[in-house]
Structure 1
Amino acid sequence: MGGPRDEDPPIVLDMNPENQSLNTKPEEIIITFDEYIKLDNANKNILITPRINKDEVIITALKNTLVIELNQELEDSTTYVFNFQKSIQDLSEGNPAENLKLVFSTGQTIDSLTFSGSVNNYFPGRNDKLEDAIVGLYPIDDTTDVFIAPPYYLTQVDTAGRFNITNIKAGQYLAYAWQDDNNSLKAEYKSEAFDFIKDTISINQNIEGIHFNLSKGDQNPIRLLRSSPTGAHYSIVLNKSPIKITLENEQVGKDIFYSLTDKRINLYSEKPIEDSLAFNIQLQDSVGYQVDSLIWAKFEESERRPEKLTIMPNSGKSFYQDLPVELTFNKPLKSINFDSLYLAYDTASVIPITPEMLSFKDSLRRDILNIKLSVADSLPFDIFTVKAADSTFIDIEGQYNEEKLSANYKKLKRETLADAITGTIANAEGPFIVQLLDSKGDLKQEAYFDSGNNFSFNLIEAGTYQIRIIEDTNGNHRWDPANYEEKRYAERIFYYIDPETGNKNISIRGGWTLEDLIITSSPKTGQKSIQN
């Protein structure tokens, strides 16, 4: 009712000190605008380089004036940049001031060197945004790093993954990038994706073409926190979950088995043991840290009621001929009653499940059971159900499953399946882990290629997919994150990108074959001239 909406951003009328000023050490900064203003998360959105103590800085907006009280002595012969990004907005409509920067020097010259490039995220979460990522530089003689303190120079990444740090003083620096989820201006060991360049960067001219690949990996070395009897079994508590466990004792796999829950290894014995047993335990975490220790475990009589046996099936899976049944138990199994374990495909017809069809994923754990059987095309049914009565399974503590098992699997018809997806991986060296992901990002198929750059998937359910490549540099059949202490980069990950649409998705229908797809590798961490 009061006229057209105000869409004009605030305009600067005056700056004190003036932009590009020399030989100035202001105690406060005053910027006057042509209209009333407000601040939007100034502590996060106003980037100040090089590093100052932001805890001492007081930023206020009063009417049309912004006042920044520095409350600290600035360094000599240093160029300071205040990048306001979108933190200054008009009071009425929230229009941000555009491209607002203040640059001044405490010396006789303005530093003008730049450091620019791009940032990629290997496994972005749903809430991860590239514009929340930070790129920072630390002088080579700085005793801090990205996990300890904010960098000397920094900038935020834009929505397209680009960054540009300006007004840098010539020198040698260490470079980092990280997903700054908590706005602390430093990376978190456990929870934030990060990357680094292990080589010293000499900035005596503008540096371009730098690339970072962010990924998460808890950088704290794995440790044994404590161990003690818990009822009749023995528990080992860790600070993080291992990816590799080696237990050395002649009884392991015979009378003693173990399970792994969140940060806890549980040892189970089929019967109480009077004397303590020595176990040499070797653990490795996802980053590559290892621990080797000796523990003495007790397996005593206990009146404590054992935990109930539970089953988690991978129900809901689709299959063509080979049924992909996997049953996960919370404890090692001791025995199975096969009379009450079968595959049902109508109200009256069943296929008995026999011992030959079963195998444990790990014979030392006996907590993940795979059932392997094929279903003939001649059976004209869509849904097949693995059934088990209560008391079918008995665990090592003598507990039976109290709930019945009923896990459904959908059989696909041959005519609805796509024939194949084939392609070539360019500009990369194997071994490769090649993964076919559905539209939700869930893994549908995976293949491992020790040599060569060609890949293929056959008999695929119609749908929309993505193809992800993991460059398995060390050949251990899994992706390895970065190890900061050892200055080892994360193994490279990249996707098939449709050359016409520019996106990752590919669609395939029944009877189709997609041939000769070319997957081009993404840049490695570093600069083109110093790539490893």
Structure 2
Amino acid sequence: MGGEKDLDPPVLVSIKPANESTNIKPQTIELEFNEYVKLDNASKQIIVTPRINKDEMVVTAIKNRVVIKLNQDLEDSTTYVFNFQKSIQDITESNPAENLKLVFSTGNDIDSLRFSGKVSYLFPQKDKFIKDVLVGLYEKNDTTDVLTASPYYISAADSSGNFEITNIKAGEYRAYAWFDSNNSLKAEDKSEPYGFLGDTIRIREDIQNVQFYISKADLTELKINRTSTIGESFDVVLSKIPIETIIEHEDYGKKLFYRRNEKNLRFYYTELRNDSIETRLSFKDSVGYKIDTLIFLKFEESDRRKEALEITSNSGASFLKNLRAEFSFNKPLKRISYDSLIVKYDTASVIQIKPEWVSLVDSTDFTKLKIEIPLSDTISKSTFQIYAADSTFFDVENQFNDKKIEANYKRLNPETLVTELIVVIDTDKRPLLLEVLDKAGKTYRQVYLENTNKHSFADLEPNTYQVRVIIDENRNKMWDPSNMNENRQAELVYYYTNPDDPKSYDVPLKAGWTNDITIIPITPLGINKEPIKETTIEEEVIEGIIEEEEN
């Protein structure tokens, strides 16, 4: 039989140099504990400010002692802070030493200024648990930033997003927060969310109630990586996924077509040509970078086997009045044989689909179709099937679907639906993109509000949803990330939070219910004059970024 489980953390017995020592430049730091200890990811967990070369630092645990060899020179007249977090643990039960920190100065004084606040995710919002999020200060004249090098001062946010940088020297700094998944002590803009305060921060006294918002923003260059002939088509491969594509040529939509698969654009021409086609291409990415260029598209005869036509649909969707179906194709669509495109609703009854019911989702994209079918109230059936026989859809290479397509849809009973969801957004900002999200985070309903801050959603299916609103400053009807190079912040996003459970974004809705909810603006970015509430919701918090001092 074993004894009781050891729940006590290691206790620090001695530390060299002593905490808050001055006028020292140690090459070795030694910590002694009351029991045997081990290290847990010391290279990541031990945070040192101002920054040192941690690649040179060697940390070892021997019995009840931890020894750190710095192997580098320290700066003059500088206060250093070693925050050990949970890196030192007892050897039996892995209990971490608590509140373990060493402060010393290479000069006469210990710097004592503090910079503290909260970090929150902006889009998508996921504040329930913060992990591996750092906050850093860079000296004003430092030529590096959060994307290129580690900061001068650094601190880790706790699981609630709260952070504090201590023992700061008075001065002017640039401030950033970021998710550091790979322990590089800087942000990877292609994959890691980050945020910044747009103005220089002058620290002359303690600064509190700082709010950061982090989100992804890929600032790498938008460019054409390569072009090539592929069979009888022509490929243009970009460095990033564009959010806007413009093709300028007199034959576009008639003989010239394209399809996009992430960063790859494949062009098709329905007639082979011996010469190249000069075409103007314009692209825009999510951070606003643009390309506008002339390119020569070349289409050659080839024996290469043509890509088969593939089709997907929104089969399984439900509807209330008109049946709304969507079909996506892996290549631009050229022709539809309507004789073999029908709606079935029992073993013997069909509706012939008319051309006027069929349209492109986007007039410039020939790979996505929508079909809206008006159904008579006299039809009592609740299940319907869109049926396309083989050889119904033909693409620009004259390939066709070689198998039948069956997409199923269900008509909802109004008595089983939510009566109304009334949403009020407590803001004067316009326009607003209001979205109801399903459990998977996908947009279930949305509406664009230009002249009001209130909307009523009717006939929702009973479920648990989330509701958010995007402040669409540039009126492009989508969320736009930040662009740090242009000192432009990401568009604000407000989520509804449950007043009884501020950590929950869920809105449960049941049949026959009428719900009223109010979305409250989030705490403003920057330095706030009032404490930041744990819910990240505020009433009248005034943004107060300290402006850069005039020369």
Aligned ranges 1:22-101 → 2 under 5 Å = 22-101=22-101
Q: Give the structure 2 partner of residue 478 of structure 1.
A: 478
Q: CA deviation at 1:203?
A: 0.5
Aligned ranges 1:141-290 → 2 under 5 Å = 141-290=141-290
Distance 1:225 1:294 in 2: 15
Deviations 1:316-362 (A, max 9, x none): 21211122211000111111111111111222222111101000123
Contact 1:257/1:364 (8 A) holds in 2: no
Deviations 1:206-232 (A, max 9, x none): 111111111112111210111122111
Matched length = 531
Distance 2:132 2:385 in 1: 46
Cα 1:127–1:472 change in 2 (3 A) is closer
Letter in 2 for 1:7: L
Q: Which moved more, 1:144-153 or 1:370-379?
A: 370-379
Cα 1:124–1:83 change in 2 (3 A) is farther
Q: CA deviation at 1:377?
A: 3.8
Q: Which moved more, 1:167-176 or 1:381-390?
A: 381-390
Distance 1:222 1:128 in 2: 34
Contact 2:127/2:160 (8 A) holds in 1: no
Contact 1:216/1:481 (8 A) holds in 2: yes
Letter in 2 for 1:509: K
Q: Give the structure 2 partner of residue 350 of structure 1.
A: 350
Percent identity, aligned pairs only, is: 48
Q: In the alignment, does 2:522 pair up with 1:508?
A: no
Distance 2:45 2:129 in 1: 15
Q: Give the structure 1 partner of residue 432 of structure 2.
A: 432
Distance 2:9 2:523 in 1: 38
Contact 1:221/1:290 (8 A) holds in 2: no
Q: CA deviation at 1:123?
A: 3.2
Q: In the alignment, does 2:544 pair up with 1:530?
A: yes
Q: Give the structure 2 partner of residue 386 of structure 1.
A: 386
Q: What SS does the corresponding residue of 2:275 show, helix, strand or coil?
A: strand
Contact 1:137/1:154 (8 A) holds in 2: yes
Q: Give the structure 1 partner of residue 17 of structure 2.
A: 17
Deviations 1:414-468 (A, max 9, x none): 1011121112111351111111012232221011111221122111111111101
Q: Which moved more, 1:371-380 or 1:160-169?
A: 371-380
* TM-score (ref. length: structure 1): 0.97
Q: In the alignment, does 2:407 pair up with 1:411?
A: no
Distance 2:428 2:445 in 1: 21
Q: Give the structure 1 partner of residue 456 of structure 2.
A: 456
Q: CA deviation at 1:380?
A: 2.6
Q: Which moved more, 1:498-507 or 1:182-191?
A: 498-507
Distance 1:426 1:126 in 2: 21
Q: What SS does the corresponding residue of 2:267 show, helix, strand or coil?
A: strand
Deviations 1:225-263 (A, max 9, x none): 111221111111111111111111111112111111121
Contact 1:258/1:364 (8 A) holds in 2: no
Q: CA deviation at 1:375?
A: 2.8
In structure 1, stretches of 5+ residues that fail to align are none
Q: What SS does the corresponding residue of 1:366 show, helix, strand or coil?
A: strand
Contact 1:492/1:524 (8 A) holds in 2: no
Contact 1:213/1:524 (8 A) holds in 2: no
Cα 1:168–1:127 change in 2 (3 A) is closer
Q: What SS does the corresponding residue of 1:275 show, helix, strand or coil?
A: coil
Contact 1:39/1:61 (8 A) holds in 2: yes
Distance 1:398 1:363 in 2: 21
Q: CA deviation at 1:161?
A: 1.1
Letter in 2 for 1:116: S
* TM-score (ref. length: structure 2): 0.94
Q: What SS does the corresponding residue of 1:55 show, helix, strand or coil?
A: coil
Cα 1:428–1:162 change in 2 (3 A) is farther
Letter in 1 for 2:115: F
Q: Which moved more, 1:72-81 or 1:125-134?
A: 125-134
Cα 1:353–1:304 change in 2 (3 A) is same
Contact 1:221/1:285 (8 A) holds in 2: no
Letter in 1 for 2:475: G
Q: What SS does the corresponding residue of 1:485 show, helix, strand or coil?
A: helix
Q: CA deviation at 1:126?
A: 8.2
Aligned ranges 1:310-325 → 2 under 5 Å = 310-325=310-325
Q: What SS does the corresponding residue of 1:299 show, helix, strand or coil?
A: coil
Distance 2:118 2:173 in 1: 18
Q: Give the structure 2 partner of residue 105 of structure 1.
A: 105
Contact 2:121/2:127 (8 A) holds in 1: no
In structure 2, stretches of 5+ residues that fail to align are 529-542
Letter in 1 for 2:544: I
Q: Give the structure 2 partner of residue 442 of structure 1.
A: 442
Q: CA deviation at 1:129?
A: 4.8
Deviations 1:50-108 (A, max 9, x none): 10000000000000000000000111111111111111100011010011101111111
Distance 2:425 2:336 in 1: 45
Q: CA deviation at 1:530?
A: 2.8
Q: What SS does the corresponding residue of 2:335 show, helix, strand or coil?
A: strand
Q: In the alignment, does 2:423 pair up with 1:423?
A: yes
Distance 2:273 2:444 in 1: 44
Please provide the CA RMSD for this pair.
Answer: 1.6
Letter in 2 for 1:510: A
Letter in 1 for 2:256: I
